[in-house]
Amino acid sequence: MPELIELPEDGIFRDSLVTKGTVGPGEDTLLVEISRDPHTGVIGSGISEGEVRNGVKIKLKRRILDFVEKVFNRDYFVNKKFEGITLKKIVENHSKLKRLGFPVVNTMRMVDTPPGYYERIIMTDLTEGGKKMVLSSASYLDDEPQIENISNGNEVGIQLSEIYQKLNQEGVQICHHDVFFLVIDKETRKGEIVLGDVSRVIFSDDPEFSPRDDEIEANNYENMKDFVDLVNRSLTGRVVDFSPVRERMMANIKT
């Protein structure tokens, strides 16, 4: 595997962000100044992809914006590429979901990294500088798993039910439970769902996509159920209520 990019001593260098998710002739890019704080740590780690790091600031004209950076430094990411999952595909999935009105991170951009270096994505910090906690279906597997509680387990269940219905109506299939994130406000303990890891999402207009509507609904239901079962292992007291999704699914069958 290649080495990570060696940063200058001041931690600042100029990178080109790909503004429309692809790299190619005539592609729109934006040259920005990215500052990476060497003293910040990893705030998340995907089993098959890589690490998420905070302390990333982007200077854009007169503004300085805070982001996190996902570095795809896991050997397993090669396996995802064999499945057709690339950074371009991930960013395109994010753009499609955002246009359709799904709850996703506000901004996601590829970093135009040179050949031979780890690929990177810049995205909005869901923790808002540490004010919020982000749990995934794999959080309970952490070496020191965080045990959290939420104050609105039923509301989160209703939000999931609405997302489930919208996925089915738009012909969007969730292919793995790690697509969903539970974002918890540390002060109010209120949680909300975000589609955060959008690599395993397929759309009805994908060339290779041809399942029936009932297959889409079944996959969305099972992966959403798996997410709730797994994320609830990281919660104590009130947990995410899955019954609104179950009721929605049963109502769909009857109609």
How high is the pLDDT of residue 12?
Answer: 37
Label residue 17 by pLDDT band (50, 70, 90).
Answer: low
Cα–Cα distance between 195 and 202 in angstroms, integer? Answer: 13
Split at pLDDT 50, 70, 90, the class of 38 is low
| Least reliable range by pLDDT among 32-36, 196-200, 204-208 | 32-36
Confirm or reject CATH 3.60.21 for domain 12-123, answering yes or no: no
pTM: 0.80
Confidence of residue 156 (pLDDT cuts 50, 70, 90): very high
- Cα radius of gyration rounded to whole Å, the chain: 19
- Band (29; pLDDT cuts 50, 70, 90): low
CA 122 to mean position of chain CA atoms: 11
pLDDT band at 89 (very low <50, low <70, confident <90, very high): confident
Tell me the mean pLDDT in the region 194-210.
86
Say yes or no to pLDDT of 24 above 50.
no
**pLDDT-derived band of residue 8, with 50, 70 and 90 as boundaries?**
very low
At residue 5 the predicted structure's pLDDT band, cuts being 50, 70 and 90, is: very low
How many Cβ atoms sit within 10 Å of the Cβ of residue 37? 12
Q: Is the pLDDT of residue 44 over 50?
A: yes
Q: Specify the 3-state DSSP secondary structure of 187.
A: coil
Q: Do domains 12-123 and 132-254 have the same CATH topology?
A: no
CATH class belonging to 132-254:
mainly alpha
Cα 147 to Cα 232: distance, rounded to the nearest angstrom: 10
* Domain boundaries, given as residue ranges, for the chain: 12-123, 132-254
Q: What is the pLDDT of residue 183?
A: 95
